[in-house]
Amino acid sequence: MPYDTVVIESERVENLNPSEPRNREAVLYWMQAAQRVRYNHALELAIRTANERKKPLVVGFGLTDIFPNANLRHYRFMLEGLQEVDAALARIGIRFILRIGSPDTVAIALSRKADLVITDAGHLRIQRQWRNAVASVIDCPLLEVETNLIVPVLTAADKEMYSAGVFRPRIHRCLPQFLVPLPSGKPRLSSMNLKIASESPIDIDNLLNKLNIDRSVGPSPLFVGGEQQAHRLLDRFIDCKLDHYDKGHNDPTKDYQSDLSPYLHFGHISPLEIALYVGEKNSPAADAFLEQLIVRRELSSNFVRFNARYDQYDGLPDWARRSLNTHRKDTRTYRYSRDQLEQAQSHDPYWNAAQKQMVMTGKMHGYMRMYWGKKILEWSKTPQEAFATALDLNDKYELDGRDPNGFAGVAWCFGKHDRPWSRRPIFGNIRYMNDAGLRRKFDADQYVQTILDLERQ
């Protein structure tokens, strides 16, 4: 299909500032959440708009050093991806402008040279604050484009969904419209010679030295950021893991997870591209994987979009908080401080292994992540303290922390998107997990040994 005949679904685009377009130097794509060139609806709309207006396109990025709970591990991974973005855009004649500063301030400054501004959608509180701040100040249109979800969040639902069972039919009804390929275009005019101050081309070490960030958590030894590595992992998943995913992805001793969550978090790869690629393979396990990629992941975005307290204990369901409160004074056989937990100093070798995996690599196996959160609830003085500890440790060490999936995942351990279960001490009606359950499902001791081996390397 010719590029110029492809229309990006109107439901993906929201006009945050309906001013009239200006007649200036360029069209601006303010990149923040979708840090990639391939399968990026915001970039494609920006290219098409620039071509229609006979203007060059520039891509701007604001690099803030005060993103909540982000540290050296997260910044290096992100900059590895942005370095690739810079080079890929240059190959098609698009100037990448990176500036250190609050993203909204950078976007406002760059907008003074722009006919209009196009940006990608983000649903966390800080992301929405940035976009609203820009929309309230600039004197040209600001178009926000949903590109990190397959179904736009406001199309899927107009309120908070309380379970995957309720949300799933809504998503499935929308897939024929939105699960479609996105052709890529090229600008007709180059912006490479525009004189606009920038920190690019990107020197990662130099930029990191300029940032006032937490350096207590070092880069992951296993994960390198960027589109290229994301697509290598996707290819490996398709070729070696997908057929085993439905039966093996909950076994931490097997390597059947995609490992794409860090790349999805930073927008280094598109969920739409992943879903289309997986769907082409006709694998018997494809549905199980797509349930996680589409339904569960987009349910998380629904959660942070419509629940203003998504990162707070008070954002949990009423039934869960009532049940936990009833049992808040129950006797706890083991109780650990946040520091003890961070140092993996519990009595439980399985939990300790999961904590060490996260600290060392930046990613914990998904099944162990559920067990990890449940045990923090069991071993903390109060459920409120447990919630704060789990969220803090998750955001500090996980490459995909500070993400809708992370907020929903922690909240799930405390009853979110779940139903009441049989009452028991401490947990009340919250779903319970224990080490015996781990041993029934997989060789938990082998998992511990794998992490010990990794620790010795």
Q: How many CB atoms lie within 10 A of CB 109?
A: 17
Query: What's CA 62's distance to the chain center, in Å?
Result: 18
Strand pairing report for 57-63 and 95-100: parallel
Three-state DSSP at 329 gives coil
What does the angle CA 194 – CA 200 – CA 204 come to, to the nearest 5 degrees? 175
**Dihedral sign from CA coordinates of 413, 415, 417, 420:** positive
Q: Boundaries of CATH 1.10.579.10 in the chain?
A: 313-456
- Give the model's pLDDT for residue 200: 85
Tracing tokens 């406001």 back to the chain, one arrives at: 154
pLDDT by residue, tens only, the chain of 457 residues? 444 555 789 999 999 999 999 999 999 999 999 999 999 999 999 999 999 999 999 999 999 999 999 999 999 999 999 999 999 999 999 999 999 999 999 999 999 999 999 999 999 999 999 999 999 999 999 999 999 999 999 999 999 999 999 999 999 999 999 999 999 999 999 999 999 999 989 999 999 999 999 999 999 999 999 999 999 999 999 999 999 999 999 999 999 999 999 999 999 999 999 999 999 999 999 999 999 999 999 999 999 999 999 999 999 999 999 999 999 999 999 999 999 999 999 999 999 999 999 999 999 999 999 999 999 999 999 999 999 999 999 999 999 999 999 999 999 999 999 999 999 999 999 999 999 999 999 999 999 999 999 999 8
* Alpha-carbon dihedral 377, 381, 384, 386, rounded to 10 degrees: -40
Is the bond leading into 201 cis (omega within 30 degrees of zero)? yes
Select from 342, 414, 405 the least CA-distant residue to 373: 414
- Give the model's pLDDT for residue 4: 55
What are the two backbone dihedrals, phi and then psi, of residue 374, each rounded to the nearest 5 degrees?
Answer: -65, -40
- Residue 374's identity, in one-letter code, is K
Helices 125-135/103-111 angle, 10° precision: 20
**Are the C-beta atoms of residues 190 and 56 closer than 8 Å to each other?**
yes
DSSP code at position 313: G
Q: How many CB atoms lie within 10 A of CB 10?
A: 8
CA distance 342 to 392: 10
**Are the C-beta atoms of residues 295 and 164 closer than 8 Å to each other?**
yes
**Are the C-beta atoms of residues 352 and 346 closer than 8 Å to each other?**
yes
- Give the model's pLDDT for residue 425: 98
Choosing among 1.10.579.10, 1.10.3720.10, 3.30.450.70, 1.20.1630.10, the CATH entry for 313-456 is: 1.10.579.10
Helix, strand, coil content of the chain in percent (nearest 5): 50, 10, 40
Does the domain at residues 149-184+226-306 carry the CATH identifier 3.30.70.260? no
Q: Boundaries of CATH 1.25.40.80 in the chain?
A: 149-184+226-306
**Are the C-beta atoms of residues 436 and 444 closer than 8 Å to each other?**
no
**Are the C-beta atoms of residues 370 and 419 closer than 8 Å to each other?**
no
What are the two backbone dihedrals, phi and then psi, of residue 17, each rounded to the nearest 5 degrees?
Answer: -145, 95
* Alpha-carbon dihedral 361, 363, 369, 375, rounded to 10 degrees: 30
CA 449 → CA 180, 302, 353, 369, 371, distances in Å?
A: 44, 38, 9, 18, 18
Tokens of 71: 């540290």
What are the two backbone dihedrals, phi and then psi, of residue 172, each rounded to the nearest 5 degrees?
Answer: -65, -35
| Domain 3-147 top-level CATH class | alpha beta
CA distance 368 to 257: 13
**Dihedral sign from CA coordinates of 425, 428, 429, 433:** negative
Q: Boundaries of CATH 3.40.50.620 in the chain?
A: 3-147
Exposed e or buried b for every residue in 53-78, given b needs 16+ CB within 10 A? Answer: bebbbbbbbbbbbebeebbbbbbbbb
Query: Does the reported pTM lie above 0.95?
Result: yes
